[in-house]
Amino acid sequence: MPALITVSAALIVSLLACACFVFLETRLRSVPLRFAVWLVCLALPTMAGDVANNLANLHWFLLIAAFCAVMSQATTRAVATAQALVVFGAVTSDALALLLIPFFALRWWIGPSRRDRAVVIAYGVGALLQMVAVVNGFLGTGPARQVADEYPSLAQVVDLYAYRVVLVGGLGITGAENAVAVLGTVVPGVALSLAVLLLVRGSRSDAQRRLAIIVFAGSSVIFAALTYSLQWYAIALTPVADVFVGLRYAVVPTSLLLIALLLAADACLERVRRERAALAIGMVILLVVALPAVVDYRETMGRDAPAWRDALAHGSSQCVSGEADDDGNVVIPTPPLPFGGMLVPCAVLVDQRDE
């Protein structure tokens, strides 16, 4: 079962990365840069750890693919079907996808073909289901997900974004740590400034890509501010340079920013007169994107934990020795260990042991 779950998650992520490659065909003319987008959606360093090959975290990849879908035309019926499946899956798996409502409303008006409107309808049905689930969650009596009651300042959000999204997205985890160690904390600010300059340059170079660049870059900032703010109770306890805390929350912002930068680079390459020179530059950019993935796309969280049977036996002995909490529960450790484990009532454990 673990192998089946891992392989199925890896397959879905691979398909979503390929979908992004296909969707952006109408936006990215440079084939090497489209392969760079495929790689961004598949193996960013921020996707390592508890996000890689994890069915519970597919919603991050679906969100990235949904952005690529809404900002791209459906050139064929097959592409429209794929876009509809992606956007429906994204909005029904993560309430954050409701932030895409303005973009899909805009697509309804600027893409009046039946294929485009079918994609918008698929998103609308999924959004309606998600809003019903959200309202039901607010009205229900079950335990609510913990969110921060204090939020970061604007300066703190900029620091987080500059280091955990811009710098780590461009250099990877290892590269970012080494750059800061050698050059100091000014490096994230310099990286942010260079990213802004490239985005502005690309937007001014090509009016056809301008909207896409603005949407991807702006959404990157909004997603980072929103997710970091909601989880600020945990992130505030660690230094800004400790990217391993809340690493999965940087997946969507980093991907959207890099896609925006690749769109800007593609716009600038349009001004290169020689086709071979543009192709060579595109290949260099692809290698720059690939290098951090080669170095840092690795497991960053320990998966070691006691076997389930042994963990249950240990929990049962804790119950017998009076080590349970006030409600008669004990924690059964499950990997990854930093997240603790499952809270199991002693009544269940003792009954199992007796049987």
Q: In terms of DSSP bridges, do strands 329-333 and 341-345 run parallel, antiparallel, or are they unpaired? A: antiparallel
- 308-320 helix and 346-354 helix, angle to the nearest 10 degrees: 110
> In the chain, where are the structural domains located?
2-72+145-296, 308-354
The reported pLDDT for the residue numbered 146 is: 66
Instruction: Give CA–CA dist 324/99, Å, rounded.
Output: 43
Q: Distance from CA of residue 259 to its chain's centroid?
A: 13
Mean pLDDT for the stretch of residues 181-209: 91
Phi, psi (rounded to 5 degrees) for 131:
-65, -35
Amino acid at 202: G
Phi, psi (rounded to 5 degrees) for 341:
-170, -160
Which tokens is 6 given?
A: 């891992």
pLDDT > 90? residue 52: no
Nearest to 224 by CA among 167, 305, 300, 306: 167
The reported pLDDT for the residue numbered 123 is: 95
The reported pLDDT for the residue numbered 10 is: 92
- Report the largest interatomic distance among the alpha carbons of the chain, rounded to a whole angstrom: 79
* Helix (H) and strand (E) counts in the chain: 15, 2
Question: pLDDT exceeding 70 applies to what percent of the chain?
Answer: 92
The reported pLDDT for the residue numbered 252 is: 95
The reported pLDDT for the residue numbered 328 is: 87
pTM for this entry: 0.87
The reported pLDDT for the residue numbered 303 is: 63
Model confidence over 217-243: pLDDT tens digits?
999 999 999 988 888 887 877 887 777
Q: What one-character DSSP code corresponds to residue 164?
A: I
Q: Among 90-94, 108-112, 138-142, 311-315, which range has the highest average pLDDT?
A: 90-94
281 or 237: which carries more pLDDT confidence? Answer: 281
Model confidence over 122-177: pLDDT tens digits?
999 999 999 998 888 777 655 566 666 788 888 888 999 999 999 999 999 889 98
- Burial of 168 per CB tally in 10 Å (0-12, 13-18, 19+): buried
Lowest pLDDT segment from 8-17, 75-84, 228-237: 228-237
Q: Are 304 and 337 in contact (CB under 8 A)?
A: yes
pLDDT > 70? residue 351: no
